[in-house]
Structures are given as structure tokens and as C-alpha cells.
Structure 1
Amino acid sequence: MTGTPAEQPAGTGTETLDTPLLEIRNLTAGYGAAPVLHEVDLAVPAGRIVAVLGANGAGKTTLLRAVSGLIRPSRGQILFDGRDLCTVRVEQMIRRGIAHVPEGRGVIVELTVEENLRLGGLWRGRRGAERAQLDEIYDLFEPLARRRRSPGHQLSGGERQMLALGRALIASPRLLLLDEPSLGLAPRVIAQTMELLRTLRDRSGMTVLLVEQNVHGALSVANDAVVMSLGRIAVRDSAARLRTDERLRHAYLGF
């Protein structure tokens, strides 16, 4: 894909690889009175993939839910392109260019492939270029083109993952939040998914915050990585160093 489907994303046009598109400052958030995240600080530069790693219960999914507005922080700031998101409604975040693909993929199984994709475009409020956007998604995910009239419940796990990603991409996001995209997929499909993320970054400059249990796959495509433990960031480093540093891997990732 060049740019994003049908048109370039709305932005300042001044982002560089060192510009934090997303900044999280002193973030504390959770469910009810029980915080899961504790004073988290994280900068996600524009045009990079940042892998968020850690054990189950470390706070990775909660971090993505806080960024996308599904939960509200009790303390701290979440800045997207310099603007605070903490009081912004979910639908406004989508229009600003944030797309969230949750764990479990979130495909509406009663709708067809094309109806799911059209819904993604409507959420961003882009009607005029809809056909061109659909065509680009079908070029990117050829199995979806063959099954465009099939309801979601007839798709394989890999096809549902493609559909969830396609529905997010058709909204032309600047920031893609991905939660466990490899969960339950065959190794071949996992490799294809990771390669797609690399392509989106390299061709369109898309920024990706990737939560993933498949450590090897995530580190193979990420520029940077953070390891979470008990709701805090325990390690932040380049993905290459984390991949090759045995001490860090043994201490925080268990291999």
C-alpha cells in the first residue's frame, strides 16, 4: 500500500522517525478501584513498530484499551500528535487516526466481509473514496476478495484476522493498536501477518503499537520493544538488542 487506502492520512506532514506520535505520561489506569497500570511512561515515535511484551496479566491489553479510550485513566496523560486523548470519545479517536484491533479480532460474524470493511470506512467518516479503499484492501488481502460476500462466521481464523486488520486499515489510521494478532493462528499465517506490519511501516510510515505473546515474531518486525511487568515498564530498548541480549531475554522473557 502506498500511503493508506485511497488517500494519505491526515497529519501535519512534519513527522520524523524521532517524533513521538504517541506519548504516555505517568499513566495509571485499571478497572473500578483496582489500578492495573502504574505510572507508565512511553513514547512511540512516528513511523515505527513498538512491541509490548510481557507475561499474562502484565497490563499490555489494558495499555491499549487506555490509549483507544475504552477505559479512562485515573492519572496521567495520553498525547496523540501533541493533543490529550483522555477526554476524547472513542469515535473521535477513530476520526483522528487511531485504529484498535482487539484480542479476539472483533469481526461482526453476521455481516459479510465487504459489510465489515464498509463499516470500518464509515467509522472514519470517509464515504467518497470507498470503492478505491475497498479495492486496495482486497489487493492487500487476496483471500478476502474471493470471499467478499461470505459472512464472518464462515471465515477461517486467518481470514478473520485479515478482515479485522483490513477493517482497521480502511479507516486510514496513523496509529494502529494491535492486541495479540497471532493468537490461534498457524505459523504460516503468523509470518504473513508480521510481514504485513513491516510492509505497512516501510511503505506508508504507519506507526504500530503491537502487543504480542509471540516474542520472536514481534521482535523480528519491531524497531523498539518494551517489556511490562505488574503494570509497569520494566525494560525498554531496541528490538534488535532485546533479541540478541541473552541476559535480558532470560530475565524478562523466559528464553
Structure 2
Amino acid sequence: MSALLEAEQVTVGYGAAPVLHDVDLAVPAGAITAVLGANGAGKTTLLRTLSGLLRPARGRILLDGQDLRGVRVEEMVRRGVAHVPEGRGVVTELTVDENLRLGGLWRKDRADAKRALDEVYDLFEPLARRRRFPGHQLSGGERQMLALGRALVGRPRLLLLDEPSLGLAPKVTGQIMGLLRTLRDSTGLTVLLVEQNVRSALSVADTGVVMSLGRVVAGADAATLREDEDMRHAYLGF
């Protein structure tokens, strides 16, 4: 399986303090890759770097084999990279419909942008029922659906998803994870998933990487990581 996104020897820090150290990563096209590890492992920093919000001090990032150094965040979006950050990032003063339309503002094909919006409402029935509600009136699960839906309106090729289950009930988490599997299978969407709920992440992922203290310490298919008792105890907490 070819890689859609690759990181090569990526080192990133905040100020003089390095957070990521010589990270190598390959994200297979059309697959869900889980990024696992304890708090402070560097997972969120990795996503922020891959989406263009942070610039590596060293190394390079490739999308379809093209070097992304110097590419602005807006251009990353146009190239098909969508980033849903931890905390969901919903504009609470705007309605559900207004939030979703933000995801397609940059698109020139207005007819397809409208189709994408309708598809999101089909995927997320609670949002369809609340399309005129402001974001602050939504539940945590609905806000996560809204953040994910807004990203999907842009028809991304690669979805960077940071802690989608944070603060959600197990039932809602299961729905979100099931949706990721559906999108992978039906559209070929590539997903890089950062998730503290290791069991949930590995239940939908095709492959996984494990991070510790800013380094990638393991990478394998999801089934292998689930069955590796030493790895689970050392890094995954179950």
C-alpha cells in the first residue's frame, strides 16, 4: 500500500525545547492509521506539524511525494488535508449550518460544495435536526460531529483527527469510530487518528504507530499491536 503522507526525520520544538525527535512516519493511502502513546508523547504536536501549523526545525514532510516545506495552511487545505483538532474547534456563536458552510468556503465548485453539505447531513442525522441551532446549544457528541462534518464538507483526501472521543460517552465514541470505517470503505478517505482510547482506535485502524517522549518507538498493523503484550503494558496502558 503506497503512502499518501510521509514524515522523514522530522524534529519540532516550541522555542528551544524539542518535542519531536527525528520522527519517521508513513501514512498509507486509503487506510486508518492510529497514533498511540501516553500524554506528552508528542501526538498532538505531530498532527499540528503535519497540517502546517508548526514548522519543522529539521526533516521534511511529503504529500504524494511532494515536499510541503513552505506550504501555507490554506494551501494544505486546498491540497486535501483537513485537521480536526482536540477540543473540536466549533464556532459556538454560529449555527450548525453556518459552521458546516465554513468548511467549503474556499471551494470553487459551488454545486459540489452543496452536495457535500447534504452528504454531511445524511451522515449526521442529529446535525440535520439542529441545523439552525447555535454551536453552544449542542452536546459534546454533536460538537464532535459538527467539527468532523465541517472537515468533510471540504472533501479531504487526508483527515488528521485529534482525540475525537475526548469527553464523549462510549456509545457516541463507537458511532464516531464506526463512521471513520465507513468513510474509509466508501470514499477511500485516509485517516491519521490520534486517540487516547487505545482499544477503540485499534478496533478501527488498519495500522498504528506508538510514540513515546517525542519519538516513534513502534509501528505495525493494528492486529499486531493489539496482541503485543509487552508493547501494551509498556506504552499503551492496557
Shorter-chain TM-score bucket reads: over 0.9
> Which residue of structure 2 lines up, in the alignment, with residue 237 of structure 1?
220
Moved more, 240-249 or 19-28: 240-249
The Cα shift of 1:124 comes to 4.2
Q: Runs of 5+ in structure 1 lacking a partner?
A: 1-17
CA distance in 1, matches of 2:201, 2:46: 17
> Which residue of structure 1 lines up, in the alignment, with residue 211 of structure 2?
228
- Render the CA deviation track for 1:156-181: whole Å, top value 9, x for unaligned: 00000000000000100000000000
| Structure 1 length-normalised TM | 0.91
The Cα shift of 1:253 comes to 1.2
Matched, 1:78 2:61: yes
- Render the CA deviation track for 1:171-207: whole Å, top value 9, x for unaligned: 0000000000000000000000000010011111110
CA distance in 2, matches of 1:128, 1:75: 41
| Structure 2 length-normalised TM | 0.98
Residue 104 to residue 124, structure 1, CA distance change in 2 (3 Å): farther
Provide runs of 4+ in structure 1 moved above 3 Å.
123-126
> Which residue of structure 2 lines up, in the alignment, with residue 204 of structure 1?
187
> Residue type matched to 1:133 in 2?
A
CA distance in 2, matches of 1:236, 1:204: 25
Matched, 1:142 2:122: no
State the SS of the aligned residue for 1:88: coil
The 8 Å contact of residues 51 and 224 in structure 1, kept in 2 or not, is answered as yes
> Which residue of structure 2 lines up, in the alignment, with residue 195 of structure 1?
178
Q: Runs of 5+ in structure 2 lacking a partner?
A: none
CA distance in 2, matches of 1:39, 1:66: 13
State the SS of the aligned residue for 1:122: coil
Moved more, 188-197 or 122-131: 122-131
The Cα shift of 1:250 comes to 1.1
The Cα shift of 1:126 comes to 4.0
Number of residue-to-residue matches in the alignment: 238
The 8 Å contact of residues 94 and 124 in structure 1, kept in 2 or not, is answered as no
Once the two structures are superposed, the pairs formed by residues 1-255 of structure 1 within 5 Å of their partners are 18-255=1-238
CA distance in 2, matches of 1:53, 1:123: 32
The Cα shift of 1:86 comes to 2.0
